[in-house]
Structure 1
């Protein structure tokens, strides 16, 4: 059974962050891109900047790569991150405190 993506983003990454990822597989150099999706321990990055030597690999990967969070470095944080959902426990506490007022 495939693992689902996490319900709550608890990482330092946000969709839209501009990041740098190290070379892996057929890549000879690191590349830069924008986070499109966040998984439990990985990121889907749309590649926007790469070394010309890696152009064929980038095209083969359809300009996207899955990178490990632990190896990916944030270069520029997005100014408009997607809202993070609160865990159900926190939502219940917020609702009960509003009802008391």
Structure 2
């Protein structure tokens, strides 16, 4: 079985967001934590705040839980979101200073002449 290609983050979530997760499985209460990984429809959350009644469950889960995006609420957006990959190379040209873009085009013309 082949590994899946990494999924591009098209969600509202970013690594480092502080979120509220809904209780599930053995959890008696909702919990809060920090987004560590982003999947297609879910998030890996490092649980940082939880009800004392859920201590055993949190420890059993190694302070991490995979939660549905649809059931997760952003409480605090991260100040430093991870950069998102661009959809195509043209986006990168838009971000480059104009003089650098022109030089790149000149180099391409020289290569074609050779």
- 1:47 aligns to what? 47
TM-score (norm 1): 0.86
Q: Cα deviations across residues 58-88 of structure 1 (Å, max 9, x unaligned)?
A: 0000000000000000000000000001113
- Compared CA separation, residues 25 and 3, structure 1 to 2 (3 A): farther
- 1:76 aligns to what? 76
Higher fraction of helix: 2
Q: Partners in 2 of 1:65 and 1:38 — Cα distance?
A: 12
Secondary structure in 2 matching 1:58: helix
Conserved in 2, the CA contact under 8 Å of 1:9 and 1:84?
A: yes
Gapped runs of 5+ residues in structure 1?
A: none
Q: How large is the RMSD of aligned CA atoms in angstroms?
A: 2.1
TM-score (norm 2): 0.77
For the pair 1:21 / 2:27, whether they are aligned, the reply is no
Conserved in 2, the CA contact under 8 Å of 1:5 and 1:38?
A: no
Conserved in 2, the CA contact under 8 Å of 1:23 and 1:31?
A: yes
Over alpha carbons, which structure has the higher Rg? 2
Q: Cα deviations across residues 3-43 of structure 1 (Å, max 9, x unaligned)?
A: 4441x211000000000000000000000000000000000
Secondary structure in 1 matching 2:28: coil
Any runs of at least 4 consecutive aligned residues in structure 1 with deviations exceeding 2 A, and if so which?
Answer: 1-5, 92-101
- 2:59 aligns to what? 59
Secondary structure in 1 matching 2:78: coil
